[in-house]
Amino acid sequence: MELQADLAEPAAELLGRIAPNGAAVEMLDEGVRVRAWLPDDDELAARKQQFEEGLWHLGQIQPFPEPAYKLIEEEPWEITWNEHYQPLEIGKQLQIVPSWMEPENAERIPIILEPGMAFGTGAHTTTRHCLEALEPLVMDGISVADLGCGSGILAIAAARLGAGLVVALDIDAQAVKLARENVLRNDVEDRVQVLEGSLAELRSVGKGHGFGLIVANIRASALEDFIQSGISRDLADGGWIVMSGILDEQLDSLLEKAKLGYLQTEQVIEAGDWRSVVFSKRS
């Protein structure tokens, strides 16, 4: 299915839960194409129904186009999949590179990813916003927490940009597994620790440690829960929080809660219906 870039990762994540070998995201001149290869077997009808039901639920937030199906001759799925991922340059320094390709731009920092079912290939607006926001905020040796790490893309980027310690967490065991694999692919396992859990687990690991930067690219309701749980206390003095995954109509509520949660709004990044916010810790 062809759709706007903002919709690529939710559609790919949904397809990845159904397709035995995950989904592929192909960058087009305008928008993206998301594909998955489903075996023509006894489970095909059930898989299609599951996908269309999930797509309907996603459509309650934002309209999605109708999926199209095409019967193709059988071939190794790796060959077909690999044709549809290309390196993606983001911000001033980063490039996202599929694990089977070589980096195209030697002047950019490569983040090597094995695309999978976890959220975070770089195609989605919210992921790009976070990566662009990280670039000027990650200083050498800074400690970073990534809540809802998905594929590990943001945690890996922070380490590659110079962070000294990165703690990445996700409540999805499959995402944790993929993130750990991607951390190893990028040779940052000495600085990035991937754990299953969320804010409570972060606090258990941190034991009162204040992070210089926290990033969370998840749904707005979870971001509000973090704020109301006092996430500002998990920041070091002078620390920053990047929050993304916020729809335009959810922004005002989040900013109001941030004021009460001792966070100062420094920047709101806008693209289409999506908003991302950079906060500083308010004394």
Judged by DSSP in three states, 27 sits in: strand
Distance CA(229)–CA(195), nearest Å, equals: 20
For the 119-281 domain, the top CATH level (class) is: alpha beta
Task: Give the neighbor-by-neighbor strand order of the sheet with 274-281.
Answer: 192-196, 165-170, 143-147, 211-217, 235-247, 274-281, 263-271
Predicted confidence at residue 76, as pLDDT, reads: 47
The answer to whether 279 and 263 have CB atoms below 8 angstroms apart is yes
Distance CA(53)–CA(49), nearest Å, equals: 6
The two tokens of residue 222 are 């979870």
Predicted confidence at residue 21, as pLDDT, reads: 59
Q: What is the CB neighbour count within 10 angstroms for residue 115?
A: 25
For the chain, the domains span: 2-82, 119-281
The two tokens of residue 123 are 């195609």
Residue the block writes with tokens 């662009």: 132
pLDDT along the chain (283 residues), means of 10: 71 74 65 75 82 79 79 53 69 88 88 68 80 95 95 95 96 90 96 96 82 95 95 94 93 96 96 91 81
Predicted confidence at residue 71, as pLDDT, reads: 74
What residues contact 69, with CB distance under 8 A and at least 6 apart? 48
The two tokens of residue 135 are 């670039």
